[in-house]
Structure 1
Amino acid sequence: MDIIREDCIFILKEAPVCWECLRDSRILITGGTGYYGKWFLKSFLYINEALSLNAHISVISRSPELFKKKYPEFAEQNSISFIQSDVRNLDTPYGRFDYLIHAATDVATNQEKDAPDEMLAVARYGTERILKYAKQVGVKKLLLTSSGAVYGIQPPDLDNMPETYQGMPTTIYGKAKKISENLCLESDINCTIARCYASVGPWLKLDIQYAVGNFILNLLNDEPIKIKSDGRPLRSYIYIADLMIWLWTILLNGDNKQIYNVGGNKAISIKTLANLVASVSNKNLTVLVQGQDNINLLPPRYVPDTSKAMARLGLKYNYTLNTGIQRTIEWHRQRI
């Protein structure tokens, strides 16, 4: 069972968009070698071939040869080309582009801690350069993948965070995404913004700061599932195939200068999430809560209100969290 191929088939079938919009089009993507980027490329390859769209996607990367060596499925594809460049230095016009997906500025704990200025510089100067380039090459629609981190701390008594909430980012990553958002909103480029929350699925890194990824790694290593907090924080998750349906739809159908939350809308505690991951194993894995409980405070929340995207763009949830976790674990097991 090729889980990624199944997901690409599902994306093509279930996205409420007219894929004909992409016929003979040229797409440019930044951040195309990251988590979202690989999913954009893989789903594009399948959709383009299945519908004979004659579309093409160009990936801006500082190290395209390294990426193609690590992910050979993207090498020697006629409908994919690579532009070796830092996004801040992109200058040469490589023909016209109809769509631009700006997905640079990955979540990276080492960069947040060790190189915050670099993260902010990529956001500011990279986005400024991309917007100028978009105008130069005739882009008719731009999608910025942002983050719920731009809101800052969600009030613990607010169940779901709406796009109208005027918060303030507290992390370097959140500040970087907010810079990119403001630049896009102030530009004269037709653009939409997707504020993304946590997801689960193939290609999610398991060894960085994503709790669900850490728990899955514990399971794959047949070791106790470790929770660093008290287990009470509340999060939500969306399976990657659903997330890609939402992102493609926001790119093709989203209104100019509109912001849409993208993520699961049902809160789950970190402890419940750990138990859910453990339940997929038949080895009765132990869940260890390492943080000290503080029942005197409401647990922190990070859960979006996604009613705007659902109502205006006809989006919905197709996968349960349980199914998403199972598919992610199965994909990793197939690669061991």
Structure 2
Amino acid sequence: MKVLVTGGAGFIGSHLVEALLKKGDEVWVIDDLSTGRLENIAHLEGNPRFHWCGGTVLDKKLVAETMAHCELVYHLAAAVGVSYVVKHPLKSLITNIRGAEVVLEEASVERKKVILFSSSEVYGKGNCVPFKESDDRVLGPTAVSRWSYATGKAVDEFLALAYCREKDLPTVIVRCFNSCGPRQTGEYGMVVPRFVTQALLEEPISVYGDGQQSRCFSYVGDVVRGVLLLADHPGAVGEVFNIGTDEEITVEGLAIRIKEITGSCSPIVYVPYEEAYGSGFEDMKRRVPDLSKIGALVGYSPSISLDELLVLTVNDVCQKLDVAPPRGLPVVESPSVFVGCG
């Protein structure tokens, strides 16, 4: 199959592109490298079925020309990371909303299926845990930039569902919950690689807030596997799916576990939200997905535990820092994303 991946040089996107090529697909990638990196896809450049386009999804002409080659679109191009969004709210909104609009509009010309990547951020401050796809959303005030990302992603979902209902465009929406793993950086506020890097360098591990906020950190390979399953299933069209893991841990507990796995002597320090993100920042206490919908349709369940994910991340960060892995670090093999596919 011929496939377009927007944001294909990003963390999740590069893993998806790699999986599609292994599956035998021909892949075109659009990415403006605002948060993506060429090194994520450098190893794919010699593959004759890989086509790097660069550019931006805001360029309608480029999107139309590239989409003309393809039968299926995975739309990941977006401003990502709490830190990036708080610092660049206008650019984030324009990229996320207008970008999705361009992709959906061009895809509708010849009814090419679109898999749209959304985020658990759309649930906002909801406290009905675990979150179901049909739950109400609870957001903070518009004066707090943090909620602009959640709003932008929700608008993307509304657009995708409207195109599906009014234009008969096949769309599938996936809400990712804290996807992590090799290639992810801590540059834009991603907590796992940031903690691992600090631990390996014996620097203070900076926990924002009191550390009692909890998250479910999902292995990127599991996310890609689930997305591929949904893309192949006709029953997924017009639907929204949570994807990730439901193994929950507090951010403080994450820091402690990373210290244990790395054997680090780094102290854990607590940084007020105001110092990390500026005044008025708001966070949610828990974010846990209900995975029953995706499990019932395609049999998805996560295959990698949190400890295994952390080991894979430690090995990846060690390679980047050019340091030896901690003594006694367990051996964890990355499972194939095609287990359970096809």
TM interval, shorter chain, is 0.7 to 0.9
Unaligned runs of 5+ in 1: 1-24, 49-54, 293-298
- What is residue 73 of structure 2 aligned with on the other side? 100
CA contact (8 A) 1:93 1:137 kept: no
Structure 1 residues 257 and 285 mapped into 2: Cα distance closer, same or farther (>3 Å)? same
Structure 1 residues 112 and 249 mapped into 2: Cα distance closer, same or farther (>3 Å)? same
- What is residue 182 of structure 1 aligned with on the other side? 158
1:325 aligns with 2:310: yes
Q: Offset at 1:174?
A: 1.0
1:28 aligns with 2:4: yes
Look up the equivalent residue of 2:261 and give its one-letter code: V
Q: Offset at 1:245?
A: 0.9
Q: Aligned runs of 1:51-66 on 2, under 5 Å?
A: 55-62=25-32
Q: Which of 118, 125, 139 is the aligned partner of 1:153?
A: 125
- What is residue 332 of structure 2 aligned with on the other side? none
Instruction: State the secondary structure of the residue aligned to 1:302.
Output: coil
- What is residue 122 of structure 1 aligned with on the other side? 95
- What is residue 304 of structure 1 aligned with on the other side? 289
Instruction: State the secondary structure of the residue aligned to 1:87.
Output: coil
- What is residue 245 of structure 1 aligned with on the other side? 225
Measured against aligned partners, the alpha-carbon deviations of 1:235-263 in whole angstroms (never above 9, x if no partner) come to 11111111111121122225111100112
Look up the equivalent residue of 1:130 and give its one-letter code: V
Look up the equivalent residue of 2:65 and give its one-letter code: P
CA contact (8 A) 1:105 1:122 kept: yes
Cα distance in 1, alignment partners of residues 224 and 33 from structure 2 = 24
Structure 1 residues 69 and 239 mapped into 2: Cα distance closer, same or farther (>3 Å)? closer
1:202 aligns with 2:161: no
Q: Offset at 1:172?
A: 1.4
- What is residue 12 of structure 1 aligned with on the other side? none
Q: CA RMSD in A?
A: 2.4
- What is residue 216 of structure 2 aligned with on the other side? 236
TM-score, length basis structure 2: 0.79
Structure 1 residues 169 and 114 mapped into 2: Cα distance closer, same or farther (>3 Å)? same
Look up the equivalent residue of 1:104 and give its one-letter code: A
Q: Which of 232, 238, 242 is the aligned partner of 1:257?
A: 238
Runs of 4+ in 1 over 4 A off after TM superposition: 66-71
Cα distance in 1, alignment partners of residues 20 and 116 from structure 2 = 17
CA contact (8 A) 1:102 1:144 kept: yes
Give aligned pairs, total. Answer: 296
Cα distance in 1, alignment partners of residues 263 and 21 from structure 2 = 36
Cα distance in 1, alignment partners of residues 30 and 137 from structure 2 = 32
Measured against aligned partners, the alpha-carbon deviations of 1:75-107 in whole angstroms (never above 9, x if no partner) come to 232111123432122234343421100111131
Instruction: State the secondary structure of the residue aligned to 1:93.
Output: helix
1:162 aligns with 2:147: no
Instruction: State the secondary structure of the residue aligned to 2:117.
Output: strand
Cα distance in 1, alignment partners of residues 139 and 15 from structure 2 = 27
Cα distance in 2, alignment partners of residues 61 and 166 from structure 1 = 33
Measured against aligned partners, the alpha-carbon deviations of 1:85-141 in whole angstroms (never above 9, x if no partner) come to 3212223434342110011113144642343222222223222211121123451x2
Structure 1 residues 169 and 213 mapped into 2: Cα distance closer, same or farther (>3 Å)? farther
Q: Offset at 1:147?
A: 0.3
Q: Offset at 1:62?
A: 3.4
Q: Offset at 1:72?
A: 2.3
Cα distance in 1, alignment partners of residues 162 and 3 from structure 2 = 22
- What is residue 7 of structure 1 aligned with on the other side? none
Q: Offset at 1:169?
A: 4.2
Cα distance in 2, alignment partners of residues 206 and 123 from structure 1 = 21
Unaligned runs of 5+ in 2: 141-146, 274-283, 323-342
1:315 aligns with 2:300: yes
Structure 1 residues 137 and 305 mapped into 2: Cα distance closer, same or farther (>3 Å)? same
Cα distance in 1, alignment partners of residues 196 and 39 from structure 2 = 26
- What is residue 276 of structure 2 aligned with on the other side? none
Cα distance in 2, alignment partners of residues 79 and 286 from structure 1 = 47
